[in-house]
Structure 1
């Protein structure tokens, strides 16, 4: 029988182990310092400096959100920055103070590699490596493709810290572990879209239309990315008829399309999809939604983020039934007609925000316009007066969602059931601090009640005592009310193509 295998540390004290690791760390550091790194000299020092204070990653996130072209890319950018913030907080509050390790001596590092400004904090662990690993891991958790593109940049930043002589290899390794752990810990608190359970939606009947046969797709050419998406639709569905039109022609083209095809397709933002849904429901046609707007809330709740998602559903004939929210009187007037909404109906600051955003957007772009509009509304608006549930009160916001919005972190997120027969009603009461009250309502989430806000599940909401001309918003569109509004639902009134989870 052979003797048990012994490790180099059997019988040694923890002090001896630490000394051995320190010597190995120093040996590796000196070995890398004396090694020639082809092509690294003009790149790594600059890359190391660009990552100071996370500037490199903020720039990468902005580029990813602006140029990524999808909600997944924007989510990846946001999660990357949030993960970086968690990692930085952990490093600066705990990591640097726990192990007060001095920086390496620069004698062994060629002068041309050294940074002009040497860091003055302790060495262990590396904050740059933590930020790089946190950002790359956060991005990868939302999008493996974008994560694979960011990972080499993160690895280069981590390597640059040893190359320039400001960290030992173990500092970088420990920082990377902290950064990746921060991204994973954040995912435990705020799940990624892929972690959420598959929405429970009642299946609907829709014809399978391979290659888009007998499908007519109407494109609002002034919506977000609709024109670019229309080109993808033509390539992916060669047998579909694609009609591009201006917003003022949209209603007429939708009616014509509904009479020509076995299914109606729509490409645009939520307001455009709203109009198509009303036509599809009236004609009893299934609706195929191609995300071509800025936000695309309804498409994402269907599980549709790309043209390929819609194509898969069309080929298989996969569809679900969807409730339509309804409000009366509708935007056309008080003659008994009604309006519908797929996502949400709201009164108060949000309609004013939409109006101000549309005023600024042509001059400065969509996202900056939203920030300016929010500042104007929260600074200058007064709460509206309305009677709700028999009680007159000042309100900053009345939000009525078509279906219950589930929490994803601190704010309402995805709907898991688009045919639950319920309205998600949230009220933010009037007061002197609209911004704080709105934030408190978002953080507290659904089904809560406090002096600041309240949330309930309802099947019908009646609002009276409104000042005529009070603006309201439905799926991003703005119209003006009379004295009374009644909001309810048309259960399972719409069938929409939807990719089914494997």
Structure 2
């Protein structure tokens, strides 16, 4: 017996036994989680405008690194070409979400990759966010199995893969992005200065 198939059946069977509002919430959250992480990136950028050039650079790199992780996940998907469990697992209940078409492969989960990358990069922006981003990422990953469109190993791999790729991307880009932020903050263009902010000293001067 395939353990992953059995676990998938158990989780999706449990999902069908939950109240309708729980099922609908899971279906919404599996997509809305991406929007929430996107909103957190915007807040992180806005707050970083009054921070150091390095803090600003990391905040801007966070969504970029997440996008890099997503693209890498798509490349990996095409190499494995694993069918979705909502078609491949015999004896499983119908998925709550519509089963993606053949060719939209299962491994790794793009949603989980984005969740893992977003969670880690936001923690790099501000460490205290781990208490928010980690549970959100785990919940988003689990929801992909709950609604029936991924195996458990798809989302575990996605979380780990996204976190690693994004962390490496931020680390690699921080130094050049910091130098760029320093240069842009001295720009004479008002629009550029608004996008980048003017750093902690200017923010302090405005409060005096």
Report the alpha carbon displacement of residue 77 of structure 1 after superposing the two structures with TM: 4.0
Matched, 1:29 2:13: no
Q: What is the correspondence of 1:234-313 to structure 2 with a 5 Å cutoff?
A: none
What are the Cα deviations for residues 79-113 of structure 1, in whole angstroms up to 9, with x where unaligned?
Answer: 331221121121112x11221110013663456x3
Structure 2 unmatched runs, 5+? 203-208
Matched, 1:78 2:57: no
Q: Distance in 1 between matches of 2:157 and 2:142?
A: 13
Q: Distance in 1 between matches of 2:37 and 2:163?
A: 15
Report the alpha carbon displacement of residue 133 of structure 1 after superposing the two structures with TM: 0.1
Q: Does the C-alpha gap of structure 1 residues 47 and 28 become closer, same or farther in structure 2, counting only changes over 3 Å? A: same
Q: Does the C-alpha gap of structure 1 residues 31 and 344 become closer, same or farther in structure 2, counting only changes over 3 Å? A: closer
Q: Distance in 2 between matches of 1:143 and 1:49?
A: 24
Q: Which residue of 1 aligns with 2:205?
A: none
Report the alpha carbon displacement of residue 142 of structure 1 after superposing the two structures with TM: 2.9
Q: Distance in 2 between matches of 1:154 and 1:110?
A: 25
Identify which of 48, 60, 65 aligns with 2:30.
48
Q: Does the C-alpha gap of structure 1 residues 71 and 97 become closer, same or farther in structure 2, counting only changes over 3 Å? A: same
1:42 aligned counterpart, secondary structure = helix
Instruction: Select the structure that is richer in helix.
Output: 2
Structure 1 unmatched runs, 5+? 1-19, 197-294, 298-342, 371-474, 477-502
Q: Which residue of 1 aligns with 2:141?
A: 158
Larger relative contact order (Cα-Cα within 8 Å, sequence gap ≥ 6)? 2
Q: Which residue of 1 aligns with 2:117?
A: 134
RMSD, aligned α-carbons: 3.8
Q: Which residue of 2 aligns with 1:169?
A: 152
What are the Cα deviations for residues 195-229 of structure 1, in whole angstroms up to 9, with x where unaligned?
Answer: x9xxxxxxxxxxxxxxxxxxxxxxxxxxxxxxxxx
Q: Which residue of 2 aligns with 1:104?
A: 85
2:117 aligned counterpart, secondary structure = helix
Q: Which residue of 2 aligns with 1:190?
A: 173
Report the alpha carbon displacement of residue 345 of structure 1 after superposing the two structures with TM: 11
TM-score where L is the length of structure 2: 0.71
Report the alpha carbon displacement of residue 74 of structure 1 after superposing the two structures with TM: 5.3
Matched, 1:144 2:124: no
Q: Distance in 2 between matches of 1:61 and 1:40?
A: 27
Q: Which residue of 2 aligns with 1:59?
A: 39
Q: Does the C-alpha gap of structure 1 residues 344 and 66 become closer, same or farther in structure 2, counting only changes over 3 Å? A: closer
Q: Does the C-alpha gap of structure 1 residues 25 and 344 become closer, same or farther in structure 2, counting only changes over 3 Å? A: closer
Instruction: Select the structure that is richer in strand.
Output: 1
Q: Distance in 2 between matches of 1:48 and 1:68?
A: 28
Residue-pair matches, total = 186
Q: Which residue of 2 aligns with 1:118?
A: 100
TM-score where L is the length of structure 1: 0.32
Report the alpha carbon displacement of residue 139 of structure 1 after superposing the two structures with TM: 1.3
Larger Rg: 1
Report the alpha carbon displacement of residue 153 of structure 1 after superposing the two structures with TM: 1.5
Report the alpha carbon displacement of residue 182 of structure 1 after superposing the two structures with TM: 0.5
Q: Distance in 2 between matches of 1:34 and 1:46?
A: 19
